[in-house]
């Protein structure tokens, strides 16, 4: 049985491992990835200062090392209205099963005036920039400013302002991209506003992320309005929200003399409009103030007529993700997801199953959960892929190998290439006292491979 998996992130590797474990011995997996690198969200989404979380790639590498596994990086599945190297029809012709584990690659917008001004970004792109995603290499945010704004109440928002609040030496020991580390050297941000629509009891931050803020002993944390008392929790308060609130109170009680930076948590506000200077760069954000009514399961939000204006020369929104449409594959525009049945079989918009095509991960269930959440998801889809029958005869082995060679001749990165690149990144990182020094652009990848292969040939 031949399986193609599109997307080399956690879901793709969990799915491959599940198929190897439960499938027949002759099952093979070919994985296709649009960047030259495997591991997706772990490489491009996990914060640089969270190296322990990245250890999950050791398990993915074991799956990759299987002789039944092949990798084709720098191969793009054609996007809707865009360009690409392969199509859904190519895959359905060459393989018995095709699984899409491409994640939700785009961000949701606030829908406010001047949202796309200079130095206004989505967290998706900003995180990609400091994590070395090839698509975000040229983002070039200006950090030589005084006031920054981060919008959102999830872990990505905390990751972003933790990066902004980090001195260069703190991030220099991580695998943050070289270009972002250079930008941190010139960082002059004095104040960061974190804007949250609801109240302090409603945030979606996890406890470890909030607890990490205690490590920033030279940063003053302020909370507006004043934090509610710990002894009067709302009915929906749970262990997570209670522990978060305890840390908030501890941070609020600190008084730092001559703080290096101030971080303001501004609750019960929603961005209304960005204001720009004569060069089109963001300079201020106007917000609406919200009233909250405490309910049994969450607070209810009501926007008021009260507004405020805060200075902001860097504006980053972290308000959710959505999928990117792919050519020849159904897409639900409203949800930003690939439509599917309860088991992960891709359907058209009328609910008719498209034989041989499956979806798993965020593009199946929406952008929620942590990395491990995808394991259960992938296992469920893997079981269905093995159970289903398909009235289809895949191309011959010779035809498949010829197609593979065409991709490799066109610049695809093989599993063997990744082994060389991985060794290069870790070796370069060790010399700098960091886990790895990331290659970013395809040109850097090709130059490194050429040198490594030349050295190997003369050894």
Would you list the DSSP string of 64-100?
A: HTSTTEEEEBS-PBPBTTS--SB-HHHHHHH-SEEEE
pLDDT tens, 405-459? 999 999 999 999 999 999 999 999 999 999 999 999 999 999 999 999 888 766 5
What pLDDT, on the 0 to 100 scale, is given for residue 361? 86
Mean pLDDT of 36-49: 95
Mean pLDDT of 133-139: 94
The two structure tokens encoding residue 286: 């106007």
Are 69 and 63 in contact, with CB atoms under 8 Å apart? yes
Q: Give the chain's length.
A: 459
Alpha carbons 384 and 101: distance in angstroms, whole number: 15
Query: Residue 251 half-sphere exposure, CB side, CA atoms within 13 Å?
Result: 27
pLDDT tens, 265-302? 999 999 999 999 999 999 999 999 999 999 888 889 99
pTM check: above 0.85 = yes
Mean pLDDT of 138-159: 95
What pLDDT, on the 0 to 100 scale, is given for residue 129? 97
Mean pLDDT of 69-91: 90
Q: Indicate if the pLDDT at residue 393 is higher than 90.
A: no
Mean pLDDT of 208-231: 96
Q: Give pairs for 46-54: CB < 8 Å, separation 24+.
A: 46/131, 46/371, 47/159, 47/162, 47/163, 48/130, 48/131, 48/163, 48/171, 48/174, 48/175, 48/176, 49/162, 49/166, 49/170, 49/171, 49/174, 51/174, 51/175, 51/435, 53/371, 54/175, 54/435
Alpha helices in 165-272, H assignment, sequence order: 168-172, 178-185, 207-211, 239-252
Assign 20 a pLDDT band (cuts: 50, 70, 90).
Answer: very high
Domains and CATH numbers, the chain: 2-105+322-413 (3.40.50.720), 109-319 (3.50.50.60)
Assign 363 a pLDDT band (cuts: 50, 70, 90).
Answer: confident
The DSSP 8-state label assigned to residue 335 in this structure reads T
Dihedral angle over CA of 27, 31, 37, 41, nearest 10: -100
Residues 6+ apart with CB under 8 A from 203: 153, 154, 196, 241, 244
In the numeric block, the tokens 């840390």 are attached to 247
Assign 89 a pLDDT band (cuts: 50, 70, 90).
Answer: very high
Closest C-alpha to 94, from 6, 4, 171: 4
Percentage of the chain surpassing pLDDT 90?
83
Q: Indicate if the pLDDT at residue 403 is higher than 70.
A: yes
Q: For 125-268, where are the E strands, in sequence order?
A: 147-151, 191-196, 219-224, 261-267
Closest C-alpha to 171, from 216, 110, 137: 216
What pLDDT, on the 0 to 100 scale, is given for residue 459? 58
Assign 103 a pLDDT band (cuts: 50, 70, 90).
Answer: confident
The DSSP 8-state label assigned to residue 175 in this structure reads T
The DSSP 8-state label assigned to residue 326 in this structure reads B
Burial class (CB in 10 A: 0-12, 13-18, 19+), 286: middle
Report in angstroms the alpha-carbon separations of 179 from 17, 46, 122, 134.
35, 17, 18, 12
Alpha carbons 80 and 329: distance in angstroms, whole number: 9
Give the Cβ contact number of residue 106 at 10 Å: 15
Are 136 and 187 in contact, with CB atoms under 8 Å apart? no
Tell me the pLDDT of the chain averaged across its residues. 93
pLDDT tens, 156-208? 999 999 999 999 999 999 999 999 999 999 999 999 999 999 999 999 999 99
What pLDDT, on the 0 to 100 scale, is given for residue 336? 85
pLDDT tens, 369-383? 778 788 889 999 999
Alpha carbons 452 and 182: distance in angstroms, whole number: 26
Strands 282-294 and 261-267: unpaired
The two structure tokens encoding residue 416: 């063997």
Are 296 and 273 in contact, with CB atoms under 8 Å apart? no
Alpha carbons 382 and 366: distance in angstroms, whole number: 18
The two structure tokens encoding residue 65: 């090392």
Mean pLDDT of 218-241: 95
What pLDDT, on the 0 to 100 scale, is given for residue 456? 73
């Amino acid at each position: 049985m031949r399986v193609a998996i599109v997307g080399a992130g956690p879901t793709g590797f969990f799915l491959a491992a599940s198929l190897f474990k439960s499938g027949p011995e002759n099952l093979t997996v070919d994985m296709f990835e649009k960047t030259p690198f495997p591991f997706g969200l772990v490489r491009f989404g996990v914060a640089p200062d969270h190296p322990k979380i990245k250890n999950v790639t050791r398990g993915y590498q074991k799956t990759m090392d299987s002789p039944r596994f092949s990798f084709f990086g720098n191969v793009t599945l054609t996007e809707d209205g865009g360009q690409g190297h392969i199509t859904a029809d190519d895959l359905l012709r060459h393989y018995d099963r095709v699984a899409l584990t491409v994640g939700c690659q785009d961000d949701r917008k606030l829908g406010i005036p001047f949202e796309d001004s200079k130095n206004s970004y989505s967290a998706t792109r900003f995180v990609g920039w400091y994590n070395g995603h090839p698509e975000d290499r040229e983002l070039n945010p200006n950090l030589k400013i005084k006031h920054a704004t981060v919008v959102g109440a999830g872990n990505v928002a905390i990751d972003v302002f933790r990066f902004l609040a980090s001195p260069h030496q703190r991030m220099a020991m991580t695998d943050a991209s070289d270009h972002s580390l250079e930008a941190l050297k010139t960082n002059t941000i004095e104040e960061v506003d974190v804007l949250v629509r609801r109240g302090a009891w409603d945030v979606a931050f996890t406890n470890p992320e909030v607890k990490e803020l205690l490590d920033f002993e030279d940063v003053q944390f302020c909370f507006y309005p004043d934090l509610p008392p710990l002894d009067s929790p709302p009915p929906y308060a749970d262990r997570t929200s209670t522990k978060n609130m305890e840390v908030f109170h501890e941070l609020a009680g600190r008084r730092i003399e001559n703080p290096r930076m101030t971080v303001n948590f501004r609750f019960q506000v929603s961005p209304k409009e960005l204001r720009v200077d004569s060069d089109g760069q963001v300079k201020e954000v106007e917000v609406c103030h919200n009233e909250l009514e405490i309910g049994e399961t969450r607070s209810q939000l009501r926007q008021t007529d009260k507004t405020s204006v805060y200075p902001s020369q860097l504006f980053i929104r972290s308000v959710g993700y959505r999928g990117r449409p792919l050519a020849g594959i159904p897409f639900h525009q409203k949800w930003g997801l690939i439509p599917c049945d309860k088991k992960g079989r891709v359907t058209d918009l009328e609910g008719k199953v498209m034989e041989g095509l499956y979806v798993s991960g965020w593009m199946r269930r929406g952008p929620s959960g942590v990395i491990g959440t995808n394991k259960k998801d992938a296992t469920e889809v893997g079981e269905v892929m093995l159970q289903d029958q398909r009235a289809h005869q895949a191309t011959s082995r010779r035809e498949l190998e010829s197609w593979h060679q065409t991709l490799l001749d066109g610049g695809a990165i093989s599993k063997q290439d990744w082994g060389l690149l991985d060794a290069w990144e870790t070796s370069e990182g060790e010399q700098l006292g960091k886990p790895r020094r990331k290659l970013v652009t395809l040109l850097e990848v090709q130059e490194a491979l050429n040198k490594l292969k030349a050295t190997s040939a003369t050894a």
